[in-house]
């Protein structure tokens, strides 16, 4: 993989015709160390956020040993990349064949479920194994998160008692898991969910060995600057300590976005300007899926050798395909004089950017360059011992 010091150097040295993904291994390493050192339990990386083998290796090298996998493809990927890692199959609805392969071929012992039907499937597929960790997923609110995950999965209040009791009979280790939604903007999301866990345990009167608070840990984006992550950890720890659970119970979390958002960004070129609309060479069917389909605002900066003196104004983007849906409303604040041929860096795309990319309409690129400058925003200030910390950029600033 090619290396450059800064994003600006990539744009003006290489003058790339296609989009270029920039990766910052030091940013992912820093995030991993932060969770391993500060979260009061075990950290499982949610592989769906970014399944890059290079990233998986960085997280492993910095202390993340457990991985939340959601498909047999992710099971195979992580088993191949990190053969000594521990895999937890946390999708609540799985093919029976996938369960069997995960258990017998890849050594997976942890599975989630949210119905009696799924529990029976796991028992059949593993041939009545007696060494299972079974995590019952309960439904909790997503009202304090930017993206809801409350409707598709999770046992409801009237279903949890029987499900927990049945899972306890089949499990060597019984857990309860939940997901508060993506980009939780308040630690209270976890406090409310843990109260729901308390109610479920008391109602079912079972011994619980694992509490898995799932994902939802945020990153920083324009207009979405969350509280410090330590506040989330403190809230979770207090709630966990007050639960009626086994004296040896473990606390787990499944961060995805928070571990990888700062890992990569994207350099795009402006191919056309029409008023306050910029036509760029990546979009809704590439790394900017979320910008188009869920109106996610990513930080942007104009990559010019001489900093523009023009006032920032709001732009929207069109991607390169022939589809009208290839539109990102933003707003994306850039200097008013941005024009055709300019390069723009779109930041915080390590989470779900590369993972959602397609080659629709013949567009797309796999070019990746490692850089050592700082991501455009960070929640891990103070852990910059191995980074070019003199180049930290806050949201809304431009890097020259």
For 176, the token pair is: 């309860």
* 148 backbone φψ class: left, alpha, beta (φ>0; ψ -120 to 50): beta
Q: Any residues with CB less than 8 A from the CB of 101 and at least 6 apart, and which?
A: 72, 75
Distance CA 302, CA 293 (A): 24
Alpha carbon distance, N-terminus to C-terminus of the chain: 24
CA distances from 58 to 4, 89, 246, 304, 318 (A): 19, 21, 33, 31, 34
Only one residue has tokens 């209270």, namely 188
322 part of the active site? yes
Distance CA 30, CA 192 (A): 29
Half-sphere exposure of 119 (CA within 13 A, CB side): 21
Is the C-alpha dihedral spanning 324, 325, 326, 331 positive or negative?
positive
What phi, psi does 325 have (nearest 5°)?
Answer: -70, -10
- Out of 88, 135, 177, 322, which one is annotated catalytic? 322
Neighbours of 146 (CB within 10 A): 19
Which DSSP symbol is given to 253?
Answer: E
Distance CA 56, CA 67 (A): 9
Distance CA 268, CA 324 (A): 19
* 282 backbone φψ class: left, alpha, beta (φ>0; ψ -120 to 50): beta
* 307 backbone φψ class: left, alpha, beta (φ>0; ψ -120 to 50): beta
The secondary structure of 128-195 as a DSSP string is S-SS-EEEEEB----TTEEE--SSSS-B-TTTHHHHHHHHHHH-SEEEEE----EEE--THHHHHHHH
**Residue numbers annotated as active site:** 322
């Amino acid at each position: 993989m090619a290396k450059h010091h800064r994003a600006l150097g990539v744009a003006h040295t290489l003058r790339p015709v296609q989009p270029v993904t920039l990766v910052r291994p030091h940013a992912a390493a820093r995030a991993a160390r932060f969770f391993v050192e500060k979260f009061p339990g075990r950290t499982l990386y949610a592989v769906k956020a970014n399944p890059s083998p290079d990233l998986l290796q960085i997280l492993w090298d910095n202390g993340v040993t457990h991985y939340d996998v959601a498909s047999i493809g992710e099971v195979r990927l992580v088993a191949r990349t990190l053969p000594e890692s521990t895999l937890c199959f946390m999708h609540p609805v799985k093919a029976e064949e996938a369960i069997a392969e995960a258990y017998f071929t890849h050594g997976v012992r942890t599975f989630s479920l949210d119905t009696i039907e799924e529990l029976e499937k796991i028992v059949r597929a593993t041939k009545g194994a007696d060494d299972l960790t079974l995590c019952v997923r309960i439904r909790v609110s997503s009202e304090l998160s930017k993206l809801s995950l409350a409707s598709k999965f999770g046992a409801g209040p009237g279903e949890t008692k029987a499900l927990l009791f049945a899972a306890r009979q089949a499990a060597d280790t019984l857990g309860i898991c939940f997901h508060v939604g993506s980009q939780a903007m308040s630690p209270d999301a976890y406090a409310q969910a843990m109260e729901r866990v308390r109610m479920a345990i008391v109602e079912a009167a079972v011994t619980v060995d694992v509490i898995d608070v799932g994902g939802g840990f945020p990153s920083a984006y324009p207009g979405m600057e969350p509280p410090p992550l330590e506040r989330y950890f403190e809230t979770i720890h207090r709630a966990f300590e007050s639960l009626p659970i086994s004296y040896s119970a473990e606390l787990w979390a499944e961060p995805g976005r928070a571990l990888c958002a700062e890992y990569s960004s994207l350099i795009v070129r402006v191919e056309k300007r029409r008023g306050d609309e910029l036509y760029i060479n990546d979009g809704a069917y590439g790394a900017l899926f979320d910008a188009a389909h869920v109106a996610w605002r990513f930080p942007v900066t104009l990559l010019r050798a001489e900093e523009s003196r023009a006032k920032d104004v709001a732009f929207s983007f069109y991607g390169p395909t022939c589809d009208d849906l290839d539109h990102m409303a933003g707003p994306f604040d850039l200097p008013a004089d941005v024009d055709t041929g300019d390069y723009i860096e779109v930041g915080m795309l390590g989470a779900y950017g590369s993972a959602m990319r397609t080659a629709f309409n013949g567009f797309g690129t796999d070019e990746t360059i490692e850089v050592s400058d700082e991501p455009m925003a960070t929640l891990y200030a103070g852990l910059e011992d191995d980074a070019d910390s003199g180049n930290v950029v806050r949201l809304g600033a431009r890097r020259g």
